[in-house]
Amino acid sequence: MATDFEVTAYPEILAGGYSHDDVRMEYVVRVNTLLKSDMTVLDFGAGRGKWRDDPVAFRRWMGDFRGRCAKVVACDVDPAVLDNPQVDERVLWDHHKPLPFPDASFDLISAFSVLEHVEDAEATAAELKRILKPGGWLCAWTPNKWGYVGIGARLIPTRLHDWVLHIVEPKRTEGDSFVPLYRMNTKSTLQRLFPPDSYLHCTYGFDGQPFYHAQWAPLFHFWRFLFWLLPPQMKGFYMVFIQKRDTTKQADGQ
């Protein structure tokens, strides 16, 4: 539930439950614009279902892709994925092995708050590229390594992460917290892993509504001022939208 100072800053929250700076809505609306009824979708790093307990009904509905595509598959290294109720198929993945899917299996891959936890960026990117169909989309929401979240997470010792998160974001549940590594979290890294001659990059930075403010108005307004002050290269998050070029169609067009 929004605090009084959040509603003062974003009065539109009272009309639907979310602000125009809502990071989850920004991401999930754009993903839904890419969905087609015949698509097979992979929810990569799906966990127990990141949208099922969302307090905003419309956002919760938008995050459940079933019914707007042909099939949704959930994949995660966490056994919690086996209890995910928002998909058609569940796969527990050993991240030391290739993804258990044939080449070109998916029309769209969604990875919400996942890329920052990837240990082996090259191997993971290679697998995502392998299972993505030509013309398919890789969609992700992830912190910018050089944004306030990325810098703050690297400055804080790992042993203190859970304690700090409990203070600055008390609404976060314990099961939602994983160690961030930020090995895929710059635009240059994404372009190296997904070369522009083979992939169309539509990624952009986004600060969103502050949520690391410990329910304290001065810290909330400090973050809003910082967002205004910092250059675009230091936006808090990336909305990652990368399309695998269909070289077959390009060749036919020539």
The values of phi and psi at residue 217, to 5°, are -55, -45
Question: How wide is the angle at C-alpha 213 spanned by C-alphas 210 and 219, nearest 5°?
Answer: 95
76 in any annotated domain: yes
Q: Report the distance separating Cα 254 and Cα 250, nearest Å.
A: 6
Evaluate whether 97 touches 80 at the Cβ level (below 8 Å): no
Evaluate whether 81 touches 90 at the Cβ level (below 8 Å): yes
Q: Quick one: pLDDT at residue 166?
A: 61
Range of the domain at 45: 16-145+182-210+234-253
Residue 152 host element (H or E):
helix 148-155
173 in any annotated domain: no
Q: Model pTM?
A: 0.91
Q: For the chain, which ranges sit under pLDDT 70?
A: 160-178, 250-254
DSSP 243: E
Structural domains counted in the chain: 1
Q: Quick one: pLDDT at residue 214?
A: 82
**Residue 93 maps to which CATH number?**
3.40.50.150
Residues making up the chain, counted from first to last: 254
